[in-house]
Chains A and B, each alone.
Chain A
Amino acid sequence: DVKVTQSSRYLVKRTGEKVFLECVQDMDHENMFWYRQDPGLGLRLIYFSYDVKMKEKGDIPEGYSVSREKKERFSLILESASTNQTSMYLCASSKTAEFYEQYFGPGTRLTVT
């Protein structure tokens, strides 16, 4: 079974702090994704990566950056956390194929106070 793990289930940070969310997958998938999920808005793509050291902006990249130094690990960085970044953050991975599914981690619920 594919396993996608996220470093924390719950996280509380203060405004202005630098926040790191880590995601690790164990199936040698090329693609990795970071989403945020908010009530009524569904899942919105923040960033994705299709290879090591490669990244592309999603729909809402402002205030975020990412890092992918190894194939299995994809980190989301909030440079200076703000209260409007309080959300559920979901990581996913997939292989590169014409038809593929995404495998999700359990999510990190981040609260910025």
Chain B
Amino acid sequence: SQQGEEDPQALSIQEGENATMNCSYKTSINNLQWYRQNSGRGLVHLILIRSNEREKHSGRLRVTLDTSKKSSSLLITASRAADTASYFCAVNTGFQKLVFGTGTRLLVSP
């Protein structure tokens, strides 16, 4: 089935730097969501962007969506060590299901 593909697979930065993760998908979507997963735990919803939106902000998070390129990016500004986690994009194609990507592992060093 179609899947969001995150890029890069892993990212290592220093505290205070910005982190950017990208997601590409294959078909038309209703919305795209980003989730965070701390090591060995469940996923936590971060932000949802609808197909008719181009940019959305939530605190230090900024998400963009380009439906013509079938891609999205998640920017975390002024990263903290506590942002260390895996980040997943998930696409909703209009049914009550999400299709998740394989994730980006972010390491923020103090």
Question: Is B13 close to A, CB under 8 A?
Answer: no
Among A42-50, A62-70, A75-83, the stretch in contact with B: A42-50
Interface positions of A from 8 to 49, Cβ below 8 Å from B: 31, 33, 35, 40-43, 45, 48
Q: Is the CB of A99 within 8 A of B48?
A: yes
Partner of B45, one of A58, A59, A98, A102: A102
Question: Is A104 close to B, CB under 8 A?
Answer: yes
Question: Is B3 close to A, CB under 8 A?
Answer: yes
> Which residues of B sit under 8 angstroms from A100, Cβ to Cβ?
96
What are the 4 closest A-B residue pairs judged by CB atoms, nearest first? A104-B42, A42-B102, A43-B100, A101-B45
Q: Is the CB of A104 within 8 A of B44?
A: yes
23 pairs of residues in contact across A and B, judged by CB atoms under 8 Å = A4-B42, A35-B100, A42-B88, A42-B100, A42-B102, A43-B88, A45-B99, A48-B97, A58-B97, A59-B1, A88-B40, A90-B42, A90-B43, A100-B96, A101-B33, A102-B45, A102-B98, A104-B44, A106-B41, A106-B42, A107-B40, A107-B41, A107-B42
- Minimum C-beta distance from A67 to chain B (A): 19
Question: Is B12 close to A, CB under 8 A?
Answer: no
User: Which residues of chain A have a CB within 8 Å of any CB of chain B?
Assistant: 4, 31, 33, 35, 40-43, 45, 48, 50, 58-59, 88, 90, 92, 94, 96, 98-107, 109
Contact with A along B30-60 (1 / 0, CB 8 A): 1101010000111111001010000000000
Q: What DSSP secondary structure best describes chain A's contact surface? A: strand
Q: Is the CB of B101 within 8 A of A31?
A: no
> Which residues of B sit under 8 angstroms from A102, Cβ to Cβ?
43, 45, 90, 98
A50 to B100, CA, bound (A): 19
Q: Is the CB of A42 within 8 A of B101?
A: yes
A40 with B102, Cβ < 8 A, contacts A101-B45, A105-B42 known: yes
> Which residues of B sit under 8 angstroms from A106, Cβ to Cβ?
41-42
- Minimum C-beta distance from A87 to chain B (A): 13
> Which residues of A sit under 8 angstroms from B42, Cβ to Cβ?
4, 90, 92, 104-107
Partner of A50, one of B33, B45, B88, B96: B96
